[in-house]
Amino acid sequence: FLSIEKYSKAKLYLIKARKLLQENLSPSDVQIVKINIELGRLKYSQNRFHMSTKYYQLALNICEQQPKLVYHDLIYIHSLLGLSLSTEQKYDQAMYHCQKVLEISKERMSTSYEEDEQIDMIITRVYERIVQIHIHDNKIDEALTNARACLKISRQYPMNYFNLGNSLLLMGSVYRHKELYKRSLVCLRKARHLINKCSYEYQTQLLPYIYAELGIFYNRMSDHRYRTAYKYYKLARNTHSIIEDT
């Protein structure tokens, strides 16, 4: 209840701040963009995804009228819209915004060779979302291509290895190719290893899925590793139950 109360207060303060800015400053002021983004993030955390999309779109509308805004503002907002829309299961619209992130970042790279860890992280998350959309649409080849592209950006995120392992596992199922299964196992084990270094919150989001995918892997092996598969299915279930209890 305390967290709900804090969310309500945060929303009131943000709406009040936006109103004051609109009354006293230019409606296209950068601060209004930031407030709309924060309102969007607030709604997303409350699982009100259609409202988060609305606030992100308001921020984007202002940004597109502001040529002086730095490039990563647009990248950030497009990535948030991609995340919000895909959570709403509006996959075509989500893919449009994800592709815009890649397009803008590519333009940036053609004019500057400076490394930007924050942008790399955003691009990584966007690739993750693209992979998930392709998997949902059963476009396994495209999912695999994007999972590999994501891994080239950074090898420190467990999700990158999970996506690649998941894509290889699906492709192994489609083409019945043992080598694809083996490569998927390498990626999934790497994701399991890397996640130990992550925050507890991140572990709770991804760990049950890693265990579940490992279970699927062993279940599909030609040498009938059903006991090992069952072990990982049980780990996935137990991990998920622990998370729900906390």
Report the pLDDT value the prediction gives residue 129, as an integer from 0 to 100: 86
Report the pLDDT value the prediction gives residue 171, as an integer from 0 to 100: 67
Neighbours of 154 (CB within 10 A): 15
Which one, of 185, 123, 132, lies nearest residue 157 by Cα?
Answer: 123
Structural contact between residues 146 and 82, judged by C-beta atoms closer than 8 angstroms:
no
**What's the pLDDT band for 53 if we cut at 50, 70, 90?**
very high
215 in a domain, yes or no?
A: no
Instruction: Tell me the C-alpha distance between 77 and 84, whole Å.
Output: 10
Report the pLDDT value the prediction gives residue 58, as an integer from 0 to 100: 87
| Mean of the per-residue pLDDT values of the chain | 74
12 in a domain, yes or no?
A: yes
Residue 216 has pLDDT above 60, yes or no: yes
Which one, of 107, 31, 42, 108, lies nearest residue 80 by Cα?
Answer: 42
224 in a domain, yes or no?
A: no
76 in a domain, yes or no?
A: yes
202 in a domain, yes or no?
A: no
Please identify which residue in the block is written with the tokens 């009228």.
Answer: 65
Report the pLDDT value the prediction gives residue 1, as an integer from 0 to 100: 33
> Domain containing 64 — which CATH number?
1.25.40.10
Report the pLDDT value the prediction gives residue 85, as an integer from 0 to 100: 92
230 in a domain, yes or no?
A: no
Domain tally, the chain? 1
Structural contact between residues 112 and 74, judged by C-beta atoms closer than 8 angstroms:
no
pLDDT tens track for 133-191: 888 888 878 888 887 887 777 666 666 777 777 777 666 666 566 666 677 777 777 77
Higher pLDDT among residues 243 and 116, named by residue: 116
213 in a domain, yes or no?
A: no
Residue 246 has pLDDT above 60, yes or no: no
What DSSP designation does 223 have?
T
Report the pLDDT value the prediction gives residue 56, as an integer from 0 to 100: 92
- For residue 85 the two structure tokens come to 């829309």
Domain containing 137: what range?
2-186
Report the pLDDT value the prediction gives residue 149, as an integer from 0 to 100: 80
Instruction: Tell me the C-alpha distance between 173 and 79, whole Å.
Output: 31
Q: Amino acid letter at 40?
A: G
Please identify which residue in the block is written with the tokens 């695999």.
Answer: 144
pLDDT tens track for 113-125: 455 667 777 888 8
Average pLDDT for 31-60 = 86
Q: Which of 45-49, 88-92, 167-171: highest mean pLDDT?
A: 88-92
pLDDT tens track for 19-37: 665 565 555 567 778 888 8
Report the pLDDT value the prediction gives residue 152, as an integer from 0 to 100: 75
Report the pLDDT value the prediction gives residue 105, as an integer from 0 to 100: 82
Residue 10 has pLDDT above 70, yes or no: no
129 in a domain, yes or no?
A: yes
**What's the pLDDT band for 79 if we cut at 50, 70, 90?**
very high
- Phi and psi based region of residue 89 (left: phi greater than 0; alpha: psi -120 to 50; beta: remaining): left
Residue 94 has pLDDT above 90, yes or no: yes
